[in-house]
Structure 1
Amino acid sequence: MNLNQITIPSLDVKKAVEFYKTLGLLLIVDASPRYVRFECPDGDATFSIHQVDKLPNETGISIYFEDENLDDWVSSLLKKDITFKQLPEDKMWLWREAHLQDPDGNNIILYHAGKNRKNPPWRID
């Protein structure tokens, strides 16, 4: 089994498209204003957005995008006026993370974990 597709809701798909294009995702399906699909520049995963009239309540959605050159990526996004809630920081779970939100308030975590994503020292067998 392989997780290869995630779809998130949006009140304004057009605005969300510009945000995710700025992050570096590649638009491959455009059925605006109700649906769009991206592919990640690395790997085989796809990511889509669909139009909704109301966003989910509570804490919402958290989306993680990994890049080996996290600090350079964040620096380039800052130059494009992307606002971060937290700049890159080393975490106790051995990941380096930066936090921001998309236009719909979904939590975006840009990170680098390397081998520790699937094989942390505390992994169970």
Structure 2
Amino acid sequence: MNLNQVTVEVSDIPRSRDFYQRLGLKLIVSADHYCRFLCPAKEGQGVAGQGATFSIHLSEAVRPNGAGIYFECDDLDVRVERLKAAGIVFDHDPVDQRWLWREAWLRDPDGNRLCLYFAGVNRVDPPWRVAPTSR
């Protein structure tokens, strides 16, 4: 498994989008309810030289520490079945999402939300990707 993305809840997308861009994250997806950023990576690290991604998602009631932690798996369905056979309980089995990822959700022993997923090229290059800017 590869830790790829952390998504946090925010109450104001434009304010948060600007803040994370100021931190140096590169905006790759932007919507009224969601933004995804590419985290800088050292040369030769990450998928095709790219770093992990970080996302913000609009929430009416932001819960501190309510983040969803994503782990990318090339063998998602096989891995989920193997984990279930080992006694791990999932909130839901792998499902194809409208954002072109396949996701299975579970919780750690403390109730933190975890997502095992497969996105392929859509992880950092979805069809609706924000056009590159000169910034």
Q: Distance in 1 between matches of 2:66 and 2:126?
A: 27
Q: Distance in 1 between matches of 2:122 and 2:66?
A: 25
Q: Which residue of 103, 106, 115 maps to 2:112?
A: 106
Structure 1 moving runs of 4+ over 6 Å: none
2:74 equivalent in structure 1: 68
1:40-65 superposed Cα distances (whole Å, 9 cap, x missing partner): xxx6x9xxxxxxxxxxx556221100
Unaligned runs of 5+ in 1: 7-42, 46-56
Unaligned runs of 5+ in 2: 7-45, 52-62
Equivalent pairs, count: 75
Q: Distance in 1 between matches of 2:89 and 2:74?
A: 21
State TM-score, norm by structure 2: 0.50
Which one scores higher on RCO, CA 8 angstroms, separation ≥ 6? 2
Q: Which residue of 123, 126, 130 maps to 1:117?
A: 123
Q: Which residue of 76, 95, 104 maps to 1:89?
A: 95
1:50-97 superposed Cα distances (whole Å, 9 cap, x missing partner): xxxxxxx55622110001110000010001100000100000000000
Q: Could you say what the CA RMSD is over the residues aligned between the two structures, in angstroms?
A: 2.7
State TM-score, norm by structure 1: 0.54
